[in-house]
Amino acid sequence: MPDLLIELFSEEIPARMQARAAEDLKKRMTDALVEAGLTYAGASAFHTPRRLCLTVHGLLAESPMVREERKGPRVDAPEKAIEGFLRGAGLTRDQLEERDEKKGRVFFAVIEKPGRPAAEIVAEELEKIIRNFPWPKSMRWGAGSLRWVRPLHSILCILSDEEGAAIVPLDIDGIKAGDSTEGHRFMAPGRFQVRDFDQYQTELKRRFVVLGATERADAIWQDASNQAFASGLELVEDKGLLAEVAGLVEWPVVLMGEIGAEFLELPPEVLQTSMKEHQKFFSVKNPKTGRIERFVTVANRETKDNGATILAGNQKVLSARLSDAKFFWENDLRIAKQEKMQPWRDQLANVTFHAWLGSQAERIERIAALAAEIAPALGADAELAAEAARIAKADLSSEMVYEFPELQGLMGRYYAEAAGFAPEVAAACEEHYSPLGPTDDVPAAKVSATVALADKLDMLTGFWAIDEKPTGSKDPFALRRAALGVIRILLEHAVDLPLLRVFTSAFVGRTVSVTSTEPLSFEQVQASAAADLLSFFHDRLKVHLRDEGVRHDVIDACLAMPGNDDLVSMVARARALSEVLGTEDGANLVQGFKRANNILTKEEEKDGVSYEFGADPKFAEAQEEVALFNALEAAKPKLDAANKAEDFAAAMATLATLRAPIDAFFEAVQVNTDNEVVRRNRLNLLSTIRSTVLQVADLTRIEA
Amino acid sequence: MSETRIEKPRSFQEIILRLQAYWAAKGCAVMQPYDMEVGAGTFHPATTLRSLGSKPWAAAYVQPSRRPTDGRYGENPNRLQHYYQYQVLIKPSPPDLQALYLGSLEAIGIDMELHDIRFVEDDWESPTLGAWGLGWEVWCDGMEVSQFTYFQQVGGHDCHPVSGELTYGLERLAMYVLGIDHVMDMPYNDPQAPIALKYGDVFRQTEQEYSRWNFDVANTEVLLKHFEEAEAECQAILAQEHVDPKTGKRIVMAHPAYDQCIKASHLFNLLDARGVISVTERQAYIGRVRALAKQCADAFVQTEAGGWTPESAA
């Protein structure tokens, strides 16, 4: 069985695209082979900056013959029918078989499609794959029309077995498949011939190319860790950077260098970010002090001077970069210390947050007002929260954040500390952006959580006010993430905060422009935007609770209750309901309730009456009927108390006590009797069941 | 690779001269800088317009470039409001363009045996020119020394064939090759010359003068008026009939119109440096310049240099 080896050799492929491309090549090629009938024993894909490679071993030398039988018309069928059958099968009459079937003698066509050699199939499929490759971005070059991620230079495509290797004949826009490739661009220029995968991999290594990205990454990590360890230091882990750097080199050579002493006082995050973003350097820290003292760069070659020139060059570039960073840091610190960050806050008046939502300064004032308003609900000091809100985004005007936007918040914390603000305020600078995603922690500090909440609520109400909501996959302002952040902060801090009231305060002073066919007053528009935003929150909440294992119908049953804009109480209700539905009483109560509700709804429709007059125990006939009266009567004060205290577990437990009397009632009593008075009284009794249950949760929404 | 060591250049101008000689030897038409203020070598019509249409093209030139916001009164070791770019444009991009480029680095004294050259993804986009391409920034020992781009679209037109564009930031590259830390200390001519001049001797004063003018003095009302006028003139030129009523010849005035587009672009940069353009207005101005660039590109492909023939018109 032959082995297939493909290498697509091009100019440098962006590091971030390589792994995915190698996987795509593997999947598309192996899928196509199997589809064509060519099974194989195994396949692996590899990538370097200049090549995508696929090896498939144990491939069938040719696809199996396919034999197909088609049943045709009877032998005495009209001539036309037989001709049609022959045309469809592509056979002549003498090639047909005749067989005896139940209905008589019938023609059969036996069509045999011969197998095809693997080379033919590979050539055909590889061309298709190359022409339709799913690069995130592709380009044309020269005078051609072929698209690839960067100019494609050569295609190696061979099938090899014991006899040797054979080139798969293929020509794509003038690029002919061959059996040779190149080694390292600088260390081993020139082409070499390839016989099979093992020889290819060995020969590449001899020519300074490590084919496996994992092997390159491991080598980098090992060598860098060892060099750091030998100096009593520690390499700072960064998996993303490691993968990227492994995608920039074919022959990794790790070089460790010193950071100039004049830069060692910079915050470690600044050093790390500057080195990573600009130079793709790893940071090396002193485990005793936590300070970053050295860097590791990964070159793509060995040199006669053991990398001395390369390291010196990198060091020089780093110094220039860090001089900038140091300049920013010192300037920023001066403004923080001497002017309490005020000039930055003033500058935010000139920064537009959104054309329709005013400047950053205006937004910050809104956040501060909202933070002061909601602070009591979180148990935070209102004045401190408002001050934190006013300071939290000041660092956006600092030079450091302008240069490294990813340091926003963190720099704010450093600068607020330097300016002498309260520790809660400084912490809020960093923490108020959280939670940034489902795995990011909710800020634990009350002031930080308050500002974080106000920030997100301002953003959501703002974009709702101007009708810029997320649609489908489009959510340019990350409003879904903001809403989830609000939900998590409210739940984790157990904040009783009716959202509609907060929305209304946040909407005040905004231009609200909700599209509507009918002209609406400002108040109406505001109310409808608030209602719409609340339902957006409810959708996010459903997703959040579903991830926690709460059923969607349980959530719906609780969302239908009044006060559903208080998410903490709404979730407590849902959890209690979820709990009770897990018990036997709970599950059966739903059945009993539905039965009562169904009968009642049907009769009410028939009679055109709402039976809400209250039932009278004096018309109760059966013992079970009396018992149900008593049970409902007994439950009433308990439910009222539980509801008032928002003790949903107690409310649910009380409901569960109704299960037995309801079941017994339906067992013994026929609601629709001939005695109209008794019948109406029973319908009113069912109505009491309904209204009692609906005080706790809308069980009509629970699915069986 | 190279057994015969290339001698290190000794001055800024020697690096420029070597690049000129190298690309001339590789068959490029060595052109002179465009006689207008531009932000980058790409704006030279030898790149912007000539990358359009089907006619082959190969040009190399130095282009003085102005970025008013980068002015630092001659004090910053790396930043200048006026600097030089070396620009190469070859259409269609030859298959060995990377090798040609590496040869040019060797020509200016970068020893491939000692340095680490890397092609790091960097997609190029010029919002003002309505242009984009894919390529890399080229790193030498961690320092960006060039931009390498395969143009895909210019002025809203797909590039067919594709041009390969190389842009060298000359000061930065030269400082690296010559081992200089502050641009003003770089030898401009041969340090052994009877009158040896440093970069600072040539440009320190002008950096100061222009920094002051760019940031604080330039009359923004006049600049704004000039912007409007350049925009109007560009459109007026392009609105003319293709056939000149005086000579009776078909003369599409793509280049004079494009000059006005270049002017508008630079005036926008000056206004930006004066800090009178808000964030929201910025986008609108860029959009207006882009609209001019697109109309100029539309006009250029209606000229012979842009691939127009009487047959293609028919």
Cβ distance B113 to A355 less than 8 Å, yes or no, reads: no
Rounded Cα–Cα distance for residues A593 and A628 (Å)? 13
Q: What's the mean pLDDT in B126-146?
A: 94
pLDDT at B3: 47
Beta strands B82-91 and B29-30, pairing class:
unpaired
pLDDT at A72: 86
For the sheet with A104-113, list strands across it: A66-74, A104-113, A97-101
Q: What's the mean pLDDT in A122-144?
A: 96
Contacts of B121 in chain A (CB under 8 A): 12, 14-16
Q: Which residue has the higher pLDDT, A468 or A525?
A: A468
**Cβ A262 vs Cβ A329: under 8 Å:** no
**Cβ B265 vs Cβ B227: under 8 Å:** no
Rounded Cα–Cα distance for residues A364 and A391 (Å)? 9
| Residue A180: band (very low, low, confident or very high) from pLDDT cuts 50, 70, 90 | very high
**Cβ A593 vs Cβ A680: under 8 Å:** no
pLDDT at A517: 53
pLDDT in tens, A417-433: 999 999 999 999 999 99
In degrees, rounded to 5, the angle at the alpha carbon of residue A548 between the alpha carbons of residues A544 and A550 is 90
DSSP class of residue B93?
P
Rounded Cα–Cα distance for residues A423 and A442 (Å)? 18
> How many angstroms separate the CA of residue B203 from the nearest CA in chain A?
21
pLDDT in tens, B68-79: 988 889 988 888
Q: What's the mean pLDDT in A646-672?
A: 89
pLDDT in tens, B152-210: 999 999 999 999 999 999 999 999 999 998 999 999 999 999 999 999 999 999 999 99
Cβ distance B120 to A248 less than 8 Å, yes or no, reads: yes
Rounded Cα–Cα distance for residues A229 and A275 (Å)? 20
**Cβ B135 vs Cβ B88: under 8 Å:** no
Q: What's the mean pLDDT in A588-606?
A: 89
Chain B: residue whose CA lies nearest to A16: B121
Alpha helices of B121-274 — where are they, by DSSP H?
170-178, 199-212, 220-238, 254-273
Looking at chain B from residue 105 to 124, which residues have their Cβ under 8 Å from any Cβ of chain A? 112-121, 123
pLDDT at B5: 61
Cβ distance A320 to B117 less than 8 Å, yes or no, reads: no
Q: What's the mean pLDDT in A107-127?
A: 92
| Residue B311: band (very low, low, confident or very high) from pLDDT cuts 50, 70, 90 | confident
Q: Is B118 helix (H, G, I), strand (E, B) or coil?
A: strand
DSSP class of residue A562?
T
Q: Which helix (H) or strand (E) holds A483?
A: helix A479-492
Answer whether residue A679 shows pLDDT above 60.
yes
Segment among A190-194, A690-694, B118-122 with least mean pLDDT:
A690-694
Q: What architecture is domain A576-701?
A: Orthogonal Bundle (1.10)
Taking the Cβ of residue A42 and every Cβ of chain B, the question of whether any pair is shorter than 8 Å is answered with: no
pLDDT at A514: 47
> How many angstroms separate the CA of residue A313 from the nearest CA in chain B?
5
Chain B: residue whose CA lies nearest to A310: B141
A352 Cα distance to chain centroid: 29
Answer whether residue A34 shows pLDDT above 90.
yes
Contacts of B118 in chain A (CB under 8 A): 248-249, 300
Rounded Cα–Cα distance for residues B155 and B52 (Å)? 9
**Cβ A269 vs Cβ A410: under 8 Å:** yes
Closest CA to B75 of B170, B169, B182: B182
Can you give A613-666 as a three-state secondary structure string? CCCCHHHCCCHHHHHHHHHHHHHHHHHHHHHHCCCHHHHHHHHHHCHHHHHHHH
Neighbours of A625 (CB within 10 A): 23
Taking the Cβ of residue B72 and every Cβ of chain A, the question of whether any pair is shorter than 8 Å is answered with: no
- Neighbouring residues of A361: CB distance < 8 A, sequence distance ≥ 6: A345, A346, A348, A349, A351
Of A150, A314, A316, the CB nearest to B134: A150
Residue with tokens 């641009």: B183
What is chain A's mean pLDDT, rounded?
A: 91
DSSP class of residue A169?
P
**Cβ A506 vs Cβ A457: under 8 Å:** yes
Beta strands B57-66 and B29-30, pairing class:
parallel
Taking the Cβ of residue B3 and every Cβ of chain A, the question of whether any pair is shorter than 8 Å is answered with: no
Q: What's the helix, strand, coil split of chain A in %, to 5? A: 55, 15, 30
Of B93, B114, B280, the CB nearest to A141: B93
C-alpha distances in angstroms, B33 versus A236, B44, B62, B70, B105? 48, 8, 6, 21, 21
pLDDT in tens, A376-390: 999 999 999 999 999
Burial of B293-310, coded b for 16+ CB within 10 Å and e otherwise, reads bbbbbbbbbbbebbebee
> How many angstroms separate the CA of residue A514 from the nearest CA in chain B?
23
Overall fold of domain A351-543 = Hypothetical protein af1432 (1.10.3210)
The token pair that represents B15 in the structure block: 């690096």
| Residue A510: band (very low, low, confident or very high) from pLDDT cuts 50, 70, 90 | low
Answer whether residue A611 shows pLDDT above 90.
no
Per cent of chain A over pLDDT 90 is: 59
ipTM of this complex: 0.93
Q: Is A117 helix (H, G, I), strand (E, B) or coil?
A: strand
Rounded Cα–Cα distance for residues A251 and A211 (Å)? 9
Q: Which helix (H) or strand (E) holds A292?
A: strand A292-299
pTM: 0.79
Answer whether residue A681 shows pLDDT above 60.
yes
> How many angstroms separate the CA of residue A226 from the nearest CA in chain B?
22
Of A16, A142, A309, the CB nearest to B93: A142
Answer whether residue B277 shows pLDDT above 70.
yes
| Residue A704: band (very low, low, confident or very high) from pLDDT cuts 50, 70, 90 | low
Of A14, A140, A310, the CB nearest to B152: A140
pLDDT in tens, A81-111: 888 888 888 888 888 888 888 878 898 888 8
Rounded Cα–Cα distance for residues B303 and A185 (Å)? 42
Indicate which of A18, A135, A140 best probes the interface with B, i.e. most B CBs within 10 Å of its own CB.
A140
Q: Is B149 helix (H, G, I), strand (E, B) or coil?
A: strand
- Neighbouring residues of B207: CB distance < 8 A, sequence distance ≥ 6: B71, B72, B73, B74, B80, B81, B82
**Cβ A180 vs Cβ A156: under 8 Å:** yes
Per cent of chain B over pLDDT 90 is: 85
Rounded Cα–Cα distance for residues A486 and A301 (Å)? 51
Q: How many residues does chain B have?
A: 314
Task: Give the sign of the dihedral formed by CA A538, CA A543, CA A547, CA A549.
Answer: positive
Q: Which helix (H) or strand (E) holds A450?
A: helix A446-465
Cβ distance A355 to B280 less than 8 Å, yes or no, reads: yes
Cβ distance B95 to A143 less than 8 Å, yes or no, reads: no
Contacts of B132 in chain A (CB under 8 A): none
The token pair that represents A608 in the structure block: 């055109």
pLDDT at B1: 44
pLDDT in tens, B218-239: 998 999 999 999 999 999 999 9
Query: First CA to last CA across chain B, in angstroms?
Result: 53
Rounded Cα–Cα distance for residues A631 and A623 (Å)? 12
Burial of A602-622, coded b for 16+ CB within 10 Å and e otherwise, reads ebbeeeeeebeeebeeebbeb
Cβ distance A303 to B162 less than 8 Å, yes or no, reads: no
Cβ distance A11 to B119 less than 8 Å, yes or no, reads: yes
Note if the bond before A519 is cis, omega within 30 degrees.
Answer: no
Rounded Cα–Cα distance for residues A363 and A347 (Å)? 13
CATH 1.10.3210 residue ranges of chain A are 351-543
Rounded Cα–Cα distance for residues A314 and A260 (Å)? 12
Taking the Cβ of residue A316 and every Cβ of chain B, the question of whether any pair is shorter than 8 Å is answered with: yes
CA atoms within 13 A on the CB side of B154: 27
Taking the Cβ of residue B9 and every Cβ of chain A, the question of whether any pair is shorter than 8 Å is answered with: no
User: Cα torsion for B180, B183, B187, B188, to the nearest 10°?
Assistant: 150
Answer whether residue B280 shows pLDDT above 80.
no
C-alpha distances in angstroms, A304 versus A184, A309, A339, B115? 16, 10, 54, 10
pLDDT at A479: 93
Taking the Cβ of residue A331 and every Cβ of chain B, the question of whether any pair is shorter than 8 Å is answered with: no
Contacts of B134 in chain A (CB under 8 A): 137, 139, 149-150
Of B135, B141, B152, the CB nearest to A310: B141
Phi, psi (deg, nearest 5) at residue B110 = -90, 115
Residue with tokens 């903001």: A482
- Please provide the DSSP assignment of B71-88 as one string: --TT-SSS--SEEEEEEE
Domains of chain B as residue ranges with CATH: 12-212 (3.30.930.10), 219-313 (1.20.58.180)
